[in-house]
Amino acid sequence: MKIANEAYILLKSISFPRMVGSDGIEKAKKVIIKYFNSNNISVKEETFEQFGFIGGDGYIEFDKRKIMIRPVGVQNPYDIKGDLLFIDNYKNVKNIDLHLRGKILIASGGLPIDIIKYIRKKGVKGYIIISPPEKDFIMSSTRQLLVKDNIIVPGAIVIYNDAMKLIEFNGKKIRMVGNNEIRKVKGTNIIVDVNNGKPGKPEILVFGHYDSVYESPGVTDNGGGAVIVASLAKKYSKNPPKRKVRFILFSGEEFGLIGSKSYVKKHKVELEECKVVINIDVAGDIIGDNRCVITGGDELYYLVHLLSNNKGLIFNVKKDIYSSDSLPFALMGIPGINIARSGGKSNFHIHTINDNLSGVSILGIEIPLKMTDLLIDFFANSRIIPIKKDVPSDIMKKVKDYFKRSGYIGKENIINN
């Protein structure tokens, strides 16, 4: 498939770290825009502000030993001391009947916004996140709302084997030093409109994010999805369908869907004409599992199931939410289709330095690309779009619960609010 080959070549040209605010994301933006311009495709850029960081290193000292850490993103330098407290998993911290003041916690799992607020109120001095076994440092960053309100607890990530050594020192004093630095940065969403010459606003949006986490090449998350969007934008720009389609490459997804939240806020009125969104987030693994997560009703679920089966595309289709850029649109009542291929080597190392080209192939791009192309062609060329613009109440509840946990409460938690 020629288009998949082209997408894979583009993927190789952006397979380097692309964190918002870094030189890498600016380089990737230029590569993508050059790709469009070289094919005579008009591009619009929309910028937004957010909190980012300058990455540094760090360490933990204990028992005359020192282990390297990765400081949590979007934090300023710290140098703290406290007694180490192992608590298994951060989701359990509210149930622990222990004195937390002055402690440095260590556990697996993430820290949603309510947990950060809780441990700060309890006087916790710092926290340590354990990377999963066999993985390099994963990445975690402080939520934008917490930074804005200056509710920050010093945090670090340690690799699994080092955590095993550290836990043996449970209950004893350690020193933790981190050298990141918060700064304000700008992100850019890249937009391509497929113009069929008819009046009206876009009815179908197709998108994926092109940013990655700190130091990760982000080849499957989400370089693969980004190049699928870009290559299909080229295809449909050359052969416009009956309905207006907008292709978007979002930035800031890895900091909490900042780019898509910014877009929804800015385009609220014209989104009244949008019928469905298609989001590609995670693609490229040679060996993998193909998924379509439907953030919508039964009509959309069965339609996607039938279309994929009719074309012999084997996808696991289910109704649920997907932690990605479709969710701000779902909050507006716009149903979404989330396409992903995961389960292989590169995606196993998601959010680490090892999400790279070693486990990725043209095949891993071609399968989700075909599915995305099938859906665009169906919706954009249908005489009547045969689904309701609806996010049913059970799915909407999950959407709202998701945003409640992340601190997004109906407005962008970014600098200019």
Instruction: Write down the pTM of the prediction.
Output: 0.96
For residue range 234-293, list pLDDT tens digits in order: 999 999 999 999 999 999 999 999 999 999 999 999 999 999 999 999 999 999 999 999
Query: pLDDT tens for residues 40-77?
Result: 999 999 999 999 999 999 999 999 899 999 999 999 99
Which part of the chain has CATH 3.50.30.30? 66-181
Residue holding tokens 């859906």? 375
CATH architecture group of domain 66-181: 3-Layer(bba) Sandwich (3.50)
How far apart, in Å, do the first and last CA atoms of the chain sit?
46
| 2-53+184-406 classified as CATH 3.10.20.740 | no
Cα–chain-centroid distance for residue 348? 15
Determine the angle formed by the axes of helices 23-38 and 2-13, rounding to 10 degrees.
150
Exposure string of 150-176, with b = 16+ CB inside 10 Å and e = fewer, is: ebbbbbbbbbeebbeebeebeeeebeb
Q: Which conformational region is residue 163 in: left (phi greater than 0), alpha (psi within -120 to 50 degrees), or beta?
A: alpha
Euclidean distance between CA atoms 345 and 338, whole angstroms: 21
The segment(s) of the chain belonging to CATH 3.40.630.10 are 2-53+184-406
pLDDT mean values, one per 10 residues, the chain (417 residues): 95 98 98 98 98 97 95 98 95 88 96 94 97 96 96 98 96 98 98 85 96 98 98 97 97 97 96 97 96 97 96 96 98 98 95 97 97 98 94 97 80 44
